[in-house]
Structure 1
Amino acid sequence: MAKFPIFFVLFALCCFSGSVRAAAPPYGQLSVSGKKIVGSKTNGAAAKLHGVSLYWSQWLPRFWVTDIVKQIKCGYNGNVVRAAMAARAEDGGYIQNPAQEQAKVDVVVKAAIAQGIYVIVDWHEEEAYKHTEQAKNFFTYIAKTYGHLPNIIYELYNEPGSGVRWESQIKPYAETVIKTIRTIDRDNLIVVGTPFWDMGVVQAALSPIEGQRNIAYTLHFYFQGQMLRFAAQMAYRLGLPMFVTEYGVWSLDGDWDSGKRELDTWWALLDRLELSYCNWGMYDLEEQPAMLLNGTPIAHVADPKWMTTYGQYIQAKLKGQDNGVNCSDRKNERYFGGKDGKV
């Protein structure tokens, strides 16, 4: 057996054992400053995260692959992907099939790290407060495996349903899961769901989570119009840091022109307030927020010929932004060595 100096052995173990090739994400380490999400590279300016959400993991797993993440970056100019991991047992989610759903998340997270973009790891259900222990177990795994990397964003509770209360259910659940994550990962951004399908941002602003840092709050919109925009602006004036982790068009009459006008109005507000936003979604079902035509091959998800009118409009919006991604320049690529030989 050949003998090597211990320095070279340690170097090899550190740099190559279980490492994932990665580019640093555009804004570096994210944090919350006042009501803004900023990055270690933004000199106090807001970090502008714009990208696409995947569909429920258990229903359309064919989209939970590495190439989708690459195309969100290089075909859409997105700097964030949202991994909407289904949780409910009755839907066949994590609570029923933890290893299966966790493995899908692993694929997407590793792909985002390799592409140098951010990834929102989303516990996707409406009654998360009923499954606190399962959520703690899942986020413990994510924090231990990936929490040392700046790419990770934790989304604790997708959309609290209409009967779920902020003070007695959502907030205590979030505080418990946040404490679990923070024993492992002290820094990465955590996004907390708000009442009534993530539209109750004023309630959160009036009684935010205390004693924790780098916490933002979720705002979602579809067909809701000016009243929700008023609420968002009120929460903003109250100092609430918000992240639109999901949005889309779902006009009640199915009229694209009215949906387009709503999108334009929302985008103008979000850009003015410097809020980040992630579109729903990357899938091909026959419903309004689907970006893709039914049966779209994975290799063509960024091809406008395979997109709905809505998908084409989202792609054009993302491509018109400076989202800090570059698909041709590999100069900043480096290795992130992991704990215990992991990612």
Structure 2
Amino acid sequence: MNFRTIGILCLCMMLVFACSTTEDTSEDDAKTETVIEETEHPTLSPIEQHGNLQVKGHQLLNEHGEVAQLRGMSFFWSQWQGQFYNKTIVDYLADDWQCDIIRAAMGVNHGGYIENPEVELQKVDQLIQAAVDNGLYVIIDYHAHTASEDVESAVDFFSQMAKKYGHLPNVIYEIYNEPLEDSWADVLVPYAQSVIAAIRQHDPDNLVLCGTRTWSQRVDEVAQKPLEDNNVAYVLHFYAGTHKQDLRDIGDRAIAAGTCIFVSEFGVINADGDGDINYASTKEWMQWLDKHQLSWCNWAVSEKEEGASIFLPGTTSNQTPTAGSLTESGLYLRNILRNRNYDQP
């Protein structure tokens, strides 16, 4: 056998070995790539992503020091649409709508908590547990317009809530939904001080939301006498069909003064909860919220026959809703939450 023949044989053997190695390597790479893809793109719940929330200046931060802009839905008054305060609906909002947060709007008066405490507490408990199961944040909202007239009941309620749920990072306390024309310095600040003191006896650090004068619109007044607690944000509510640039100007002044704003309730319709969607105004508001990285909840998880409701009248609460169950508002909000698309469909 001459050297040329030997060389050809060696070359063939090298090619065979190379092909075999390439096939094995390709298979190994494919397996490795699959594993890497799964570990590099984990699906984290909002709680896993953000953890404990903290106010720093005018911003709401997560436990990593990053801005936390939470987006989600507010339930309707518990005494009138309490059938939706269940795990099936929360699962749906978490999985399909991709909510970060929900709001339990516990009605205080008008047949609510004051008259039927056990009934309303059970609804709130169910919603909190469902939120925890899904890794969502949940606002415990004392849904009233005259809470400052009965401070004792509010103190008792939030003391119970903080004692029971204060160990959970999911929980946010909204201590007064929408005050009317109570003075910020003379009425709302003393009220908040009493309620927050009751909360802090059991929960030293979870976020507290404090309503402001005139249906939670006058956030600009907070800077005159801010609360001393270091983890409080102040509530701004708007309805796109009614409120426009003048209310955003109030919000801008508050932010410039260092006030942390949380939009715990807004609507895409008129302030009475009804009317057609104002798409143009809603888009302007959503862009403003994004500009300032403000958290929000939309009103409302309800099947009441009005423009704010996301469900059509007659929608059952014990089955997972479908697209056919949604109102025009429901379809629009679902698209906003899933795709950050603020344009009219």
SS in structure 2 at match of 1:52: strand
Q: Note if 1:141 corresponds to 2:160.
A: yes
1:32 and 1:241 in contact (8 A); partners too = yes
CA deviation after TM superposition for structure 1 residue 244, in Å = 0.3
* Aligned counterpart, 1:87: 108
SS at match of 1:153: strand
CA shift, 1:168, in A, is 1.6
Deviation larger for 263-272 or 198-207 = 198-207
Which of 216, 221, 239 pairs up with 1:203? 221
Q: Aligned equivalents of 2:100 and 2:226: distance in 1?
A: 28
After TM superposition, the structure 1 = structure 2 runs for residues 222-301 of structure 1, keeping only pairs within 5 Å, are 222=239, 223-251=242-270, 256=276, 259-298=278-317
Q: Which AA in structure 2 matches 1:175?
A: Q
Query: Which stretch has the larger CA shift, 291-300 or 150-159?
Result: 291-300
Q: Which residue of 1 aligns with 2:200?
A: 182
Q: What is the letter of the counterpart of residue 209 of structure 2?
A: V
Q: Deviations over 1:103-158 (max 9, x none)?
A: 11100001111111100000000011112111111111111111001000000000
Q: Contact between 1:76 and 1:302, CA under 8 Å: does it hold in 2?
A: no
Shift of 1:34: 1.1
**Partner Cα distance (1:235, 1:272) in 2:** 15
**8 A Cα contact 1:26 1:117, kept in partner:** no
| 1:231–1:144 CA distance, 2 compared to 1 (3 A) | same
Looking at structure 2, the residues matched to 301 and 314 of structure 1 have their Cα atoms a distance apart, in angstroms, of: 17
Task: State the identity %.
Answer: 38
Distance across 1 between alignment mates of 2:208 and 2:199: 9
Gaps of at least 5 residues in structure 1 are: 1-21, 322-343
Say whether residues 1:51 and 2:72 are aligned partners: yes
RMSD over equivalenced CA pairs, Å: 1.9
Aligned to 2:210: 192
Q: By how many angstroms is 1:205 displaced? A: 2.6
CA distance in 1, matches of 2:129, 2:256: 37
Q: What's the CA shift for 1:298? A: 2.5
CA distance in 2, matches of 1:316, 1:144: 37
Change (3 A) 1:176 1:81: same
Please say which of residues 297-306 and 237-246 is displaced more in the overlay: 297-306
Letter in 1 for 2:307: Q
Native 8 Å contact 1:23 1:114 kept in 2: no
Count of residue correspondences: 294
Out of 218, 231, 235, the residue aligned to residue 218 of structure 1 is 235
When residues 64 and 137 of structure 1 are mapped into structure 2, their CA distance, relative to the original with a 3 A threshold, is same
Larger RCO (alpha carbons 8 Å, 6+ apart): 1
Query: 2:47, 2:137 within 8 Å by CA — same for their partners in 1?
Result: no
Q: Which runs of 5+ in 2 are unaligned?
A: 1-44, 341-345
Tell me which amino acid in the other structure corresponds to 2:226: P
Residues 235 and 24 (structure 1 numbering): CA distance in 2 closer, same or farther, change over 3 Å?
closer
In our comparison, the structure showing a higher alpha carbon Rg is: 2
Does residue 71 of the first structure (1) align with residue 89 of the second (2)?
no
Query: Of 62, 76, 83, which residue of structure 2 is paired with 1:39?
Result: 62
Q: What's the CA shift for 1:299? A: 5.4
CA–CA separation in structure 2 for the residues paired with 1:96 and 1:129: 17
Q: Which has the higher helix share?
A: 2
Q: How does 1:309-324 map to 2 (within 5 A)?
A: 309-321=328-340
Q: Structure 1 residue 183: deviation in Å?
A: 1.2
1:336 match: none
Give 1:25 deviation, angstroms. 4.3
1:118 equivalent to 2:137? Answer yes
Shift of 1:33: 1.0
**What letter matches 2:333 in structure 1?**
I
Q: CA deviation at 1:304?
A: 2.2
| Per-residue Cα deviation, 1:289-340 (whole angstroms, up to 9, x for no partner) | 111111112356652221111111100010025xxxxxxxxxxxxxxxxxxx
Mapped partners of 1:173, 1:33: distance in 2? 23
Cα distance in 2 for partners of 1:87, 1:34 equals: 31
Q: Deviations over 1:47-85 (max 9, x none)?
A: 011000101011111111111111111121001010000
Alignment of 1:165 onto 2:188: no
- Does the C-alpha gap of structure 1 residues 138 and 44 become closer, same or farther in structure 2, counting only changes over 3 Å? same
What is the CA distance between 1:250 and its match in structure 2?
Answer: 2.5
Q: Helix, strand or coil for the counterpart of 2:258?
A: coil
Measured against aligned partners, the alpha-carbon deviations of 1:258-316 in whole angstroms (never above 9, x if no partner) come to x1111100000000100000000110111121111111123566522211111111000
Would you say the 8 A contact 1:76–1:318 is kept in 2?
yes
Query: Is the counterpart of residue 102 in structure 1 residue 121 in structure 2?
Result: yes
SS in 2 for 1:287: coil
